[in-house]
Structure 1
Amino acid sequence: MGRVTRVVEHLRVEEMDERLKHCTESWRLRRWQVIRCALVHPKPAAEIALELGLARQTVHNLIAAYNRHGPAALETPGRGQRQRAYLSLEQEQAVIAPFLQSSAAGQLSTVLPLKAALEEAMWVIQ
Structure 2
Amino acid sequence: RGGPRPAAMRLFVRDLAGRTLAVDAAPDGDVAGVKEQIRAECGVPVGEQRLLYGGRTLDSTELLGACGICDEATVFLSLELQGGGKKRKKKTYTKPKKIKHKRKKVKLAVLKFYKV
What TM-score does the superposition give when structure 2 sets the normalisation length? 0.28
Higher helix share: 1
Greater RCO (CA < 8 Å, at least 6 residues apart) = 2
Structure number with larger C-alpha Rg: 2
Higher strand share: 2
What TM-score does the superposition give when structure 1 sets the normalisation length? 0.26
